[in-house]
Amino acid sequence: MKLDQLKALASRTKKVGKNRIEITDEEAAAEAITREDVRELLKNKQIKIKKKQGVSTARAKIKKIKQQKGQRRGPGKRKGTRKTRTKKKETWMKKVRAQRKKLKEEQLASPEDYRKTYRMVKAGYFKDVKHLTAYIKAKRGKQ
């Protein structure tokens, strides 16, 4: 029997692709005719079945490591503006924490003024720390 026919027969008996069949002993394989002969050759390891080829994850692993380092986050990867890429709450928290820190440093004369300004910070009255500082200076000027 021809070797390509034998491969086809072996692939049908073992239910694998033709490309996975490897004939090691061609002389013994040429004499095989039936499926039983093919099974015998498989048992004697004169015909081998190659391992199934998988998809390599090497590139994916390298990519993941780079992303953990903070790489691959350049302008070409970004979709959306700076505002859309950060959550509204996170930006609010960042702003408010900075303003509260500044307010604590400045410490207004009376506790009522401090509390009132603190609430104003929470309400989002001031757009940034500079605005808050200007407000505090104006408050002090009036006193």
- Cα atoms in the 13 Å half-sphere on the side-chain side of 9: 21
Task: Answer yes or no: CATH 3.30.70.20 is held by domain 3-49.
Answer: no
Q: Tally the residues of the chain.
A: 143
Low-confidence residues of the chain: pLDDT under 70: 143
Return the CATH architecture of domain 82-142. Answer: Orthogonal Bundle (1.10)
| Per-residue confidence (pLDDT) for residue 110, from 0 to 100 | 80
- Name the segment(s) of the chain with CATH classification 1.10.1200.60: 82-142
Q: Tokens 């005719």 sit at which residue? A: 33
| Per-residue confidence (pLDDT) for residue 143, from 0 to 100 | 66
Round to whole Å and give the CA distance between 74 and 67.
11
Q: Which amino acid is residue 32, in one-letter code?
A: A
Q: pTM for this structure?
A: 0.53
